[in-house]
Amino acid sequence: MNGVALANQGPAPLLRVDRLHVDYEVGRAIGGWPPGRRRTRVAVRDVSFEIASGETFGLVGESGSGKSTTGRAILRLVTPAAGAIAFDGREITTLGKNTPMWYRRAVQVVFQDPLASLNPRHLVGNIVEQAVGQRSDAPGRAGRRRRARELLDQVGLAGRHAERFPYELSGGQQQRVAIARALAVDPRLIICDEAVSALDVSTQGQIVNLLGDLQRELGLSLLFISHDLAVVRHLSHRVGVLRLGELVESGPADQVYNEPRHPYTRSLLDSVLVPDPVAQRERRLARRTRAVPRLDDLEEEHD
Ligand SMILES: Nc1ncnc2c1ncn2[C@@H]1O[C@H](COP(=O)(O)OP(=O)(O)OP(=O)(O)O)[C@@H](O)[C@H]1O
Ligand SMILES: [Mg+2]
């Protein structure tokens, strides 16, 4: 091994996604030969990016571009057809079917709809206490309770919120609970999949600021998935742009936003930076008639 070459490479990334390819089975073809050929829809093709320790990587793109699928593959909720995902230098795509506990702790997720992911029959305090209990060094009952209160405090909730059910909280407060629960196991990466998209604009700002603060204080890595380019820009060190399952551009946030290289990135930026709704509608119509291939046109058939 060449020590100099290694030294030049800098620290290894926390997450490395290498030529990821994911497709979904969309039923078997009727007729044709051979019979019962698998029909698949390509959701992600040849996507590669890295996330360093303590870095926020924003993943943007229109609906259906493969953002959530990329997140799901990292979480091992879907099995990639090809490509590799390495976490902290360990290959995770080749691990057996059951996701190892260390990985389930290390990579947490916060989804768009917190109410759907929080147990409606449990008090907020209990939800976070249970998550603390998942730690490898889980403390006893009193310790779990204390730690849960600390976590709720860390995400800006008061002791009284611990005694409520999730549905008794506002959307922003529910999302704070989801974040506290994610933090309970000392994760190293949190995947936020449209985590603020369902919130009103001022609450969005508060949650985005909270995530930014936590990321800096705890040295967390974030994969921040959103269709909202303004929010992504605010939070991300680097950004990747997905279009129809392909990463058409990635780089430092300032570069992608100020000097986009790919025409698709430019048109995405145009569509959000134009404040005039009439002009926006005209652009949208113009784009629609411009014969852009839809993902459905890219469906492939495999044996
Ligand atoms: N379970 C599934 N079965 C079949 N196709 C799927 C499935 N989930 C997603 N897809 C398809 O894969 C493609 C990528 O979907 P994905 O959910 O990753 O997009 P996205 O970028 O997260 O979109 P959105 O912004 O709407 O959340 C889409 O064409 C979608 O229809
Ligand atoms: Mg999605």
How many alpha carbons lie under 13 Å from residue 153 in its C-beta half-sphere?
7
Instruction: Measure the CA–CA gap between 202 and 172, rounded to whole angstroms.
Output: 10
For a mutational test of ligand 1's pocket, the pick from 69, 225, 246, 292, i.e. the residue with the most ligand atoms closer than 8 A to its C-beta, is 69
Distance 70 CA to ligand 2 centre (A): 9
221 lines ligand 1 (CB under 6 A): no
* Top-confidence residue, 264 or 27: 264
Distance 119 CA to ligand 2 centre (A): 22
The pair of three-digit structure tokens given for residue 80, joined into one six-digit string: 């990639």
User: Is the pLDDT score of 134 beyond 80?
Assistant: yes
Q: Decide which of 278 and 201 is more confident.
A: 201
Judged against a pLDDT cut of 90, whether residue 4 lies above it is answered with no
Delineate the domains of the chain, giving CATH numbers in brackets. 100-187 (3.40.50.300)
pLDDT-based confidence at residue 52 (cuts at 50, 70, 90):
very high
Confidence of residue 261 (pLDDT cuts 50, 70, 90): very high
Place of tokens 């849960």: 148
SS (H, E, C) the chain: CCHHHHHHCCCCCCEEEEEEEEEEEEEECCCCCCCCCEEEEEEEEEEEEEECCCCEEEEECCCCCCHHHHHHHHCCCCCCCEEEEEECCEECCCCCCCCCHHHHHHEEEECCCHHHHCCCCCCHHHHHHHHHCCCCCCCCHHHHHHHHHHHHHHCCCCHHHHHCCHHHCCHHHHHHHHHHHHHCCCCCEEEEECCCCCCCHHHHHHHHHHHHHHHHHHCCEEEEECCCHHHHHHHCCEEEEEECCEEEEEEEHHHHHHCCCCHHHHHHHHHHHCCCHHHHHHHHHHHHCCCCCCHHHHCEEEC
CA 65–ligand 2 middle distance (angstroms): 8
* Cα–chain center distance at 271: 23
List, for residues 212-255, the tens digit of each pLDDT value: 999 999 999 999 999 889 999 999 999 999 999 999 999 999 99
Looking at residues 185-207, what average pLDDT do you find? 95
Q: Which pLDDT score is estimated for 38?
A: 73
Give distance in angstroms: CA of 69 to centre of ligand 1. 6
- Has residue 1 got a pLDDT over 50? no
Mean pLDDT, the chain, rounded, equals 87
Indicate if the pLDDT at residue 28 is higher than 90.
Answer: no
Ligand 1 near 67 CB (within 6 A): yes
Nearest protein CA to atom 27 of ligand 1, as residue: 63
Q: Average of pLDDT values for 139-164?
A: 96
Ligand positioned closest to the Cα atom of 44: 1
Evaluate the CA torsion angle 42, 48, 51, 57 in order and state its sign: negative
User: Pick the residue with more confidence: 181 or 268?
Assistant: 181
Binding site membership of 295 for ligand 1 (Cβ less than 6 Å) = yes
Rounded to an integer, the average pLDDT of 149-168 is: 97
**pLDDT classification of 91: cutoffs 50, 70, 90:** very high
pLDDT tens-digit profile of 169-187? 999 999 999 999 999 999 9
